Amino acid sequence: MLGLFGTGGRRRSANAEAGAGQLPQRPAIVLAVAADKQAPDWVALFEGCRLSDGRSVNVYQTAWHKMVASAEPKAARQQLAVHLQDVHGPAVQPDLVLVRNEVYTPNEDFRNLLYAFWMGGAAGVNSLHSIYCFCEKAVVQAELFRLNRELGDAVFPVVPQCYFASYKEMMYTQTYPCVVKIGSAHAGMGKMIIRDHHDMVDFRSVLAMTNGKYCTAEPFIEGQYDLRIQKIGHHYRVFKRISVSGDWKTNTGSSHVELLDLTPRYKRWADEAGRLFGGLDILTVDAIHDSATGEEYILEVNGTSSGLAPDQATEDNMHIRDLVLQRLEESLLGVKTGGGQEGETGEGGSSGAGGGGAGSGE
């Protein structure tokens, strides 16, 4: 899957229209953290949008490394101040932060900015609390195993896994070959196949050089194909991904992608994952179909930075925009916009070609 990112700090000018005898309302302000060449133009996507009380929506689109932030929660006027590198003028105080880029990667750590948004009381899509929890893969996996214990393997099958706090505790008890994953890396980084216990001894010596990183190990499953169940609000999609490059990491090589029907089983997976950390607006469940047994296992769940399929990205970005507007209604106006548990599938949700592409990102 191609990841979703955006462009540098831009904003949509406010529409200052006001009714006769009325003072113009302060626009709702959205900060979209989304920066890369594949990005949609979030400024354009929100053009003309208004909340139910008539106020307009200003959007600033930027990257993590192009801003600084501070917070003063009990200040009378500005509780959160965000200075954007590409925007001249006073600091921005976002009402909501849309996060579409990873906060914490092997090369960059922007958690301090996330804390400022959180401290300053901004709403988030996904929630800032859930984004914080997703900064560590081990935290997410722990919650998946909690759901597995609660629901059972028949309902929520998670691939077996061992966790090691450091190289000192490594005593792998599952089958070989296995896959080891170091820390909270994304997009196929920090992962490798271990063929036998001799390789594991070598890997342990390498892990000792990572300055205290934890790791996980799980049996390697020869997959006939991968599955990705995507949930954006109450909108669902199911993708079947088959590697065409021969790379065992199907999210890093070229792959063919098909849209599948949403079955009750896949919907249950997404709905249960959607309960994590108080609720997830945007998520993807990644699973694998074992070619030997025909069984399917959940590998991981991704959150707000989940990549979108190129052929469906335009429509799915509109769903994300609608989610942001709903959250603004709730946080600024106290309007309850959440619907029931029933969702919908995207157009063309039946089996058929859904467009292939190089898999990268979450």
pLDDT (tens digit per residue) in 63-80: 999 999 999 999 999 999
Is residue 14 pLDDT above 90, yes or no? no
In the structure, what pLDDT confidence band is assigned to residue 19 with cuts at 50, 70 and 90? Answer: very low
Is residue 38 pLDDT above 60, yes or no? yes
Which domains does the chain possess?
A: 10-131 (3.40.50.20), 162-219 (3.30.1490.20)
* Nearest C-alpha neighbor of 362 from the set 244, 261, 249, 214: 249
pLDDT (tens digit per residue) in 39-49: 899 999 999 99
pLDDT (tens digit per residue) in 236-281: 999 999 988 777 776 666 778 999 999 999 999 999 999 999 999 9
What ranges make up the beta strands (E) of the chain?
10-11, 28-33, 57-62, 67-71, 80-84, 96-99, 123-125, 162-164, 178-182, 191-194, 215-219, 223-232, 235-243, 254-260, 282-290, 296-302, 344-345, 352-353, 357-358
Please give the Cα distance from 188 to 323 (Å, whole number).
29
pLDDT (tens digit per residue) in 165-208: 999 989 999 999 999 999 988 778 899 999 999 999 999 999 99
Q: What is the pLDDT at residue 9?
A: 52
pLDDT (tens digit per residue) in 143-168: 999 999 999 999 999 999 999 999 99
